[in-house]
Structure 1
Amino acid sequence: MQNVKKDATITEIGGATPSDEKTVKLGPFVNESKAEAKSAFKTLLESANIGSDCTWDQAMRAVVNDQRYGALKSLCERKQTFNEYLSQKKKLEAEERRVKQKKAREDFRIMLEASSQWQKVQDRLETEEICSRLEKLDHLEIFKEYIRDLESEEKEQRKLQMEEFRKAERKNCDEFRKLMEEHVSAGILNAKTNWRDYCIKIKDFAAYLAVSSNTSGSTAKDLFIDFMDDLEK
């Protein structure tokens, strides 16, 4: 079903009195449904660059002479659709600001990668275009955040390195125990062997040299004593 509106007398802008009535000649506007009519009215508002902070009176003055103004029949429908448009516009503008702010922060962090000293960063703030997109307080905030991230990454790297280091030292201990087991099987080591004599025999063995390089945990002598205790049981 088609709704056709050819002429309209506009008396609904602001608080107009009968003497203020203004007759506007509108061209024919055809819409298939209420949804299409609302969509056409919102498109009209968008094409007129109606922002989220625009008032009803300001918006209507900007669009009243467009034939799409007649897409909706009543003042109530227009105001309801106008409010829906403002709500959607505010959400869209907020998202656009968020995306721009995120991009600006990312660009600023990239710049920080070239210099992690605040004084050097400050020297670049006046000339870098990306800095103009952020508030001055944001510069320091992002810089501090960047430094915290760097410190966190360094801490995590040190943790991983320490885990690898300890893993290597445990492996050295295991290899030394394996060497002693082989020497027991070969008759080189028995329950009566003392550490001094055994140390002289193995001083050039890779397993002994490796475990002797450990900076934490059991020493080669500690491992020998524990091994001998188990051997005597």
Structure 2
Amino acid sequence: MGDPANDPSSWTEHTHNDGRRYYYNKVTKQSSWDKPQCLKSDHEKLNTTSWKEYKTADGRDYFYNPVTKQSVWEMPLELKRLRGMDKQEDSDDEQEEEKKEEEPEWKTPEERRAAFRDMLLDKGVKSGMKWEEAAKLCQEDRRFLALNTAGERKQEFSVYVTQTKKREKEEEREKRKRARDDFVEALGKWPDLKPDARYKDAAEYLCESECFKLIEEDERDELFQDFMDEHEKKLKEDRRKQRKEYVEQIKKTYDEHSNISVTSRWQDVKEALRDNETYKWLSKLEALTSWEEWTADVGKSEVETKSKAKFRHERKNRDAFRALVKEHHEQGKIKVSTVWQDYVKDVKSDAQYLDILGQPGSTPHDIFDDLVEELNSKVKEDRAKIKKWAKAAGMTISSASTFEEFEETLQKQEGYAQVPEDTVRGVFDSLHQKAKEQEENAERDAKKSRKRFVELLQKTREVTASTTYEHAAKLMGGSSAWESVDDQTRKQCFDIFVDQLKIQSAARKGKDKDAGSGGSEAERKPKKKAEKGKKRAQEEPPEEPPEKKSKKTKKK
């Protein structure tokens, strides 16, 4: 019997979990990563180099040199020569192949570390593995040699383990979070779910589920209580929505039932609806409340119908009286100056007035006031138009102006014909009165100014019968009494005042002369009285009536 190790029938080819091929001898019970010599092809037997051929997990061929620790995708030049493939390529191709073989597969350190981490992930290295276990699992992978030294590999392995633990913790948190959601969802699908369900019953139903096992007991209990609170709230909300629908249905039944009216007794209504499904769904309180609401709605509807009819009748009465008031205005019975006490005497016997008495809303007095207010607004608009037309025509109203002149000027304005004559006359009277008052005020102010000026002359001792106007201007020109009178009036008043002074001076000289010539005492007394009266008359200011002195009461 031959050596089982060299018997091809004793060997079988298998694929590892990571995709690598290995060979098993069913006789010797041995496994080998390397292909047995008896199974090699002629080309493989000719391989006297250090290169070995392997396959990745996805079935891709690569070549590894355990001596130089180098991995390449392309077949090394030594193997091509041994297999006679070099005859099919020219020398330039060989040089290019050699150049490619010399080029590293990973160009940067980061690419090398990334390739090493990808290998650990592809091999299924767990975060709890030790470095020796991971190295044994991955040492046949070409990416194991992406990092040149053992220290670099071990360091990158530590980084991988840290990241993996962090990722596993995050995945665990997400898993627990999903478990809580799945637990709540499972409670919602529980066939025996009732408002009075207990946690113990739910735990018996869900104890074999994965979500139940991932959650702590206290948290499960709390989730169950929260779920039941929400479930109860949802049931109440659903019943509330359904109750609204059922209440509307039962009210419709009240409307359609021949034996039910707003005057029916509740006991009779219950007896009539005892077999009604909608009535049975409602609780006793809900059914009674629906009946009370229905009777209130029906009664309210009847009241509204009656109220509408009454309101329409009252509105017709108000419209009729309003039409009567408007008609009287067109007939000239109501004007802006008309007052309610006078008007009501004329309509107190009319049917329109009697029909509206005692009604709610606008009274006859209110309707009359509305019309008068409207007329007032119209009068204001017309007065504004008249004043605007007068201003545009350049008309100035004085105390001497007449209505005929005013009317003749305004007749040319557009829209004048639509303005009532009473309004035009009222505007003229107002403007005429205002002009008279202004003129009277001006005359009064002028008199006061003249009086103040004369008083100024009387108080100024420097002014004598021989004083000239120019000299007086220098003496008193800065006083307000002087400036309050125009120049012409000042001269007139000054001349009159000086003339009086001259008369008084001449009278005194005559008196002295008479006293020197003698005469009886009886003859001199009448002359003296006459001179005193004349003197008082001359001292009074011209064109000015004497002022009345106010009497002051003296305390005893």
Structure-2-length-normalised TM-score:
0.28
For the 8 Å contact 2:206–2:212, the answer to whether it is kept is: yes
| 2:331 alignment partner, SS class | helix
Query: Is 1:147 aligned with 2:295?
Result: yes
Structure 1 residue 164, shift from structure 2 partner: 3.2
Q: Equivalent of 1:86, from 222, 228, 237?
A: 228
- Taking only the aligned residue pairs, the percentage that are identical comes to 18
Q: Equivalent of 1:214, from 355, 360, 369?
A: 355
Amino acid at match of 2:320: N
**Aligned ranges 1:1-233 → 2 under 5 Å:** 1=167, 32-49=174-191, 50-70=193-213, 72-114=214-256, 115-117=260-262, 118=264, 121-122=269-270, 124-184=272-332, 211=352, 214=355, 216-217=357-358
For the 8 Å contact 1:41–1:68, the answer to whether it is kept is: yes
Structure 1 residue 156, shift from structure 2 partner: 3.5
Distance 1:213 1:44 in 2: 80
Distance 1:52 1:127 in 2: 28
Structure 1 residue 217, shift from structure 2 partner: 4.7
Amino acid at match of 2:210: Q
Bigger drift between 130-139 and 105-114 goes to 130-139
Structure 1 residue 42, shift from structure 2 partner: 0.6
Partner residue, 1:24: none
Q: Which protein is bigger by CA-based radius of gyration?
A: 2
Distance 2:309 2:177 in 1: 63
Structure 1 residue 40, shift from structure 2 partner: 0.4
Structure 1 residue 82, shift from structure 2 partner: 1.2
Distance 1:149 1:134 in 2: 20
| 1:116 alignment partner, SS class | coil
For the 8 Å contact 1:51–1:86, the answer to whether it is kept is: no
**CA pair 216-2 structure 1, distance change in 2 beyond 3 A:** farther
Partner residue, 1:7: none
Structure 1 residue 137, shift from structure 2 partner: 4.6
Distance 1:155 1:86 in 2: 48
| 2:237 alignment partner, SS class | helix
For the 8 Å contact 1:31–1:37, the answer to whether it is kept is: no
**CA pair 2-95 structure 1, distance change in 2 beyond 3 A:** farther
**CA pair 2-153 structure 1, distance change in 2 beyond 3 A:** farther
Distance 1:2 1:55 in 2: 35
| 1:32 alignment partner, SS class | helix
**CA pair 173-122 structure 1, distance change in 2 beyond 3 A:** same
**CA pair 116-87 structure 1, distance change in 2 beyond 3 A:** same
Q: List alignment gaps of at least 5 residues for structure 1.
A: 4-29, 186-190, 200-207
Structure 1 residue 133, shift from structure 2 partner: 0.7
Specify which structure has the bigger relative contact order, considering alpha-carbon pairs within 8 angstroms and separated by 6 or more residues: 1
Amino acid at match of 1:86: M
Structure 1 residue 157, shift from structure 2 partner: 3.8
Deviations 1:153-186 (A, max 9, x none): 333443344333322211110111222233348x
| 2:355 alignment partner, SS class | coil
Structure 1 residue 53, shift from structure 2 partner: 1.5
Distance 2:253 2:168 in 1: 59
For the 8 Å contact 1:2–1:32, the answer to whether it is kept is: no
Structure 1 residue 66, shift from structure 2 partner: 2.9
For the 8 Å contact 1:52–1:86, the answer to whether it is kept is: yes
Distance 1:35 1:161 in 2: 68
| 2:314 alignment partner, SS class | helix
For the 8 Å contact 2:184–2:224, the answer to whether it is kept is: yes
State the aligned residue count.
177
Q: List alignment gaps of at least 5 residues for structure 2.
A: 1-166, 334-341, 373-556
For the 8 Å contact 2:251–2:290, the answer to whether it is kept is: yes
Amino acid at match of 1:67: E
Partner residue, 2:488: none
| 1:214 alignment partner, SS class | helix
Distance 1:168 1:35 in 2: 75
For the 8 Å contact 1:40–1:68, the answer to whether it is kept is: yes
